[in-house]
Amino acid sequence: MSNVAVQDARPATPAPGRGSLSHRSLPRWAGAGFAVAAIALAVGIGLAFDLQSKVQWGLIAALLFVLISYAVTTAVENKRQAKDRVATSLVWVCFILAVIPLLSLLWTTISRGTKVLNGYFLTHSMAGVPAFEQGGGIYHALIGTLEQIGIATLISAPLGLLTAVYLVEYGKGALAKAVTFFVDVMTGIPSIVAGLFILTLMLMFDLQPSGFMGSLALSILMMPVVVRSTEEMLKLVPNELREASLALGVPKWRTILKVVIPTAIGGITTGFMLAIARIAGETAPIMLLVFGNQLINTNPFDGAQSSLPFYIWEQYRVGSDASYDRAWAAALVLIAFVMILNLVARGIARWKAPKTGR
């Protein structure tokens, strides 16, 4: 009895006895072989023609790879298999093309960011530090960021939650449709436009820049995200639960507060945290509304503040080696903050996922 373990892939070795169902096929390592050949050729061409940019080498290699695989597969197998193979390699190329810059971004941030990142950096402000010199830290920016996103969350979490409840539990008719539509539209508002809107308020009512103004703009950005994610989670709560509770004579509002929201609370929390992660990195509104500050200002309602993303922008604009180091270190802190929020949020989502038994 022949004993074949079959995967959905070309058979490993071409066999001699062929019937109508089989054709000559390339060995499994063919793809890797083509890649090696293409890279070797590209390096050869690169050296021969003395091409400077490694990007050119890569492009030539990729092009050769596609051509070689198509030609060889057409010759050995057939056109359809060749197309399939080219599609497969293109998909892989896409993946690699995308991974390179993203890994580079992470690597650059980590390698350059760790240079000046230490306890001192985290616990000191830029007070009295000349922009071109080393030293200083992000303490003031951290405080600013935490306060601004804190206030923004306090504003948009209840509003967003209630709006989502309205849409899922009560929403019918034109008003609900309008709200749904504009929530979507609001998700797409560029952060700088949200900043400009608050700026118009400041101009009209003669308000001064402060952390709170920034928080207002951030809430505009955060609210639709909260509404959308909460809505999704509330929709996942099975109707049977609502009906069971209502059938027991529990009023609707208590059903929502005691049954629906607790059931979905894991997902809702996740949504909140992802929304926070999103606004924590916003720079543009802070630039327009909070102005930035080298000193520690713990009062978000009075006077200019800094924030982590704004600090990065500021240090980048100074343009000295010392300030670039600070910018990278702050970027690392910001990325770490956002990533941790994301990871925790997703952890909660997995842990508290409503068991709907899909």
Partner 1 sequence: MAKRIDVSGLSAYYGAHKAIDDISMTVEPRSVTAFIGPSGCGKSTFLRTLNRMHEVTPGGRVEGKVLLDDENLYGSAVDPVAVRRTVGMVFQRPNPFPTMSIFDNVAAGLRLNGKFKKSELADVVEKSLKGANLWNEVKDRLNKPGSGLSGGQQQRLCIARAIAVEPDVLLMDEPCSALDPISTLAIEDLIGELKGRFTIVIVTHNMQQAARVSDRTAFFNLAAVGQPGKLIEIDETERIFSNPSVQATEDYISGRFG
Partner 2 sequence: MASSIATDTPPPPAPAPAARRNQSTGRAGDKIFLGLSRGSGIFLLVVMAAIAIFLSIRAGIAISEDQGNFLTTFDWNPAGSPPAFGIAVLLFGTVVSSVIAMAIAVPIAVGIALFISHYAPRKLAAPLAYVVDLLAAVPSIVYGIWGALFLVPYLGGLNEWLDSYLGWTVLFEKTEVGVARSIFTVGILLAIMILPIVTSVSREVFLQVPRMNEEAALALGATRWEVIRLSVLPFGRSGVISASMLGLGRALGETMAVATVLSPSYVLSLHLLNPGGGTFAQNIAAKFDEANQLGRDALIASGLVLFVLTLLVNGAARMIIARRKEYSGANA
Give the contacts of 179 (CB within 8 A, at least 6 positions apart): 163, 166, 167, 171
Closest CB 112 distance from partner 1, rounded Å: 42
- Give min distance, CB of 84 to partner 2, in A: 4
Q: Is the CB of 88 or the CB of 123 nearer to partner 1?
A: 88
Binding at 339: pick from partner 1, partner 2, none (beta carbon under 5-8 Å per type): partner 2
Contact between 358 and partner 1 per CB under 8 A: no
- Nearest alpha carbon to residue 134 among 292, 304, 318, 335: 318
- Taking CB under 8 A as the criterion, the residue among 20, 52, 53, 239 binding partner 1 is 20
3 forms part of the interface with partner 1 (CB under 8 A):
yes
- Is 291 strand, coil or helix? strand
Selected binder of partner 1 within 36, 63, 71, 80 (CB under 8 A): 80
Residue among 1 and 203 whose Cβ is closer to partner 1: 1
The count of residues in the chain is 358
Angle between helices 321-351 and 308-318 (to 10 degrees): 160
Is residue 25 at the binding interface for partner 1, with CB under 8 A as the rule?
yes
In the complex with partner 1, the residue whose CB is nearer, 29 or 182, is: 29
For partner 1, the closer of residues 2 and 200 by Cβ is 2
The least CB distance from residue 73 to partner 1, in Å, is 13
Q: Please name every residue paired with 133 in a beta bridge, in sequence order, or none if there are none.
A: none
Bridge partners of residue 291, in order along the sequence: 305
Q: Which stretch binds partner 1 (CB under 8 A): 7-15, 63-71, 234-242, 298-306?
A: 7-15
Phi, psi at 103, each rounded to 5°: -65, -40
User: What's the number of CA atoms in the CB half-sphere (13 Å) around residue 87?
Assistant: 6
Find the shortest distance in angstroms from Cβ 28 to partner 1. 12
Q: Is 252 in the site for partner 1 (CB under 8 A)?
A: no
| Count of residues in contact with partner 1, rule CB under 8 A | 25
Where b means 16+ CB within 10 Å and e means fewer, 67-104 reads ebbbebbbebbeeebbeebbeebeeeeeeeeeeeeeee
Residue 7 or 200 having the CB closest to partner 1: 7
**Smallest distance, Å, CB 15 to partner 2?**
20
94 binds partner 1 (CB under 8 A): no
Which stretch in 3-11, 59-67, 142-150, 277-285 sits in contact with partner 1 by CB under 8 A?
Answer: 3-11
CB of residue 77 to partner 1, shortest distance in Å: 8
The torsion angles phi and psi of 251, rounded to 5 degrees, stand at: -60, 155
Q: 3-state DSSP call for residue 12?
A: coil
Residue pair 352/267 in contact by the 8 Å Cβ criterion: yes
Q: Of the candidates 214, 224, 213, which has an alpha carbon nearest to the alpha carbon of residue 156?
A: 224
Whose Cβ is closer to partner 2: residue 107's or residue 120's? 107
Amino acid type, 122: L
Residue nearer to partner 1 on the CB measure, 14 or 354: 14
- Torsion over CA: 84, 89, 90, 91 (sign): positive
Residues that bind partner 1 (CB under 8 A): 1-8, 10-15, 17-25, 80-81
